[in-house]
């Protein structure tokens, strides 16, 4: 099978647990690009945080960021598509987070804003090449916000999810994008829907789309793609939605999948 689009999640998939692209993975992805496949980073990260990963691969192109809330062109730094959320819809979530003093950020397609920045959060952002912009609470939600992202220990976020089940998910949705992250977005935003939109723009049938991911926010793109690959470090529910399972992100799983599928 010839895959004309290869959608790659970043954290837990393309990167190992040390936030590195290993030489084997880098060469495998570059080889696939040289053979003519369009490499599309499809990530929960924001565009600015994802760009260094694309640069490390030595590639340019279109990226799907913020779990599908944005589609951006890396070369021109322009927004091709975004699903913004309104201040009214976001307010119940913001009030909850402020009341419990949980760390969160507010994201536009290219910028990330925070009301406060502690040492632990600062280290997390540095590891992800993100550059938070301080914004006073009185300034409200930034215009064109596409995502709220909550950062806290896993046990705390497990409790948040249980309590948020009572909120109206017709206005906004939330999705677990990592053990320590919950993302709040427009109900129509997802990696799967944006990957489908990009494939339609390119005129590429889903059978020629390959997707590789590792977490709950990747399920949509794994299900849409002609072939969806879950990493071995994925939860069981994610593996169940994939067509195949590769090695973990610490074992060059992306390279192993591309090699097994004969991509290069």
Beta bridge partner(s), residue 147: 107, 185
Active site residue 55: no
Which of 9, 11, 105, 111 is catalytic? The answer is: 9
CA distances for 41 relative to 7, 13, 191, 231, angstroms:
6, 11, 10, 16
Beta bridge partner(s), residue 81: 71
Cα torsion at 79, 85, 91, 97 (round to 10°)? -50
CA distances for 185 relative to 82, 170, 232, angstroms:
11, 11, 27
Count of Cβ atoms closer than 10 Å to residue 95 Cβ = 10
Which positions are annotated as active-site residues?
9
């Amino acid at each position: 099978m010839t895959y004309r689009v290869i959608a790659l999640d970043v954290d837990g998939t393309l990167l190992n647990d040390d936030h590195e692209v290993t030489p084997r993975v880098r060469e495998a992805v570059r080889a696939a690009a040289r053979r003519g496949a369009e490499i599309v980073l499809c990530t929960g990260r924001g565009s600015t945080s994802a760009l260094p990963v694309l640069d490390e691969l030595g590639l340019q192109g279109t990226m799907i960021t913020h779990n599908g809330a944005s589609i951006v062109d890396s070369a021109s730094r322009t927004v091709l598509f975004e699903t913004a959320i309104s201040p009214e819809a976001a307010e119940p979530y913001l009030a909850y987070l402020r009341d419990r003093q949980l760390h969160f950020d507010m994201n536009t397609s290219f910028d990330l804003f925070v009301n406060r920045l502690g040492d632990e959060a600062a280290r997390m952002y540095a590891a992800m090449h993100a550059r938070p912009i301080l914004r006073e609470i009185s300034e409200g939600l930034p215009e064109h916000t596409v995502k709220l992202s909550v950062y806290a220990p896993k046990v705390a976020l497990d409790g948040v999810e249980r309590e948020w089940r009572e909120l109206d998910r017709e206005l906004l949705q939330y999705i677990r994008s990592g053990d320590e992250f919950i993302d709040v977005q427009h109900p129509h935003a997802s990696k799967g829907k944006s990957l489908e939109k990009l494939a339609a723009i390119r005129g590429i049938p889903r059978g020629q789309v390959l997707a590789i991911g590792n977490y709950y926010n990747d399920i949509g793109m794994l299900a849409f793609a002609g072939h969806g690959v879950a990493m071995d470090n994925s939860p069981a529910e994610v593996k169940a939605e994939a067509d195949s399972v590769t090695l973990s992100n610490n074992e060059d799983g992306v390279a192993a999948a591309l090699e097994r599928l004969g991509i290069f």
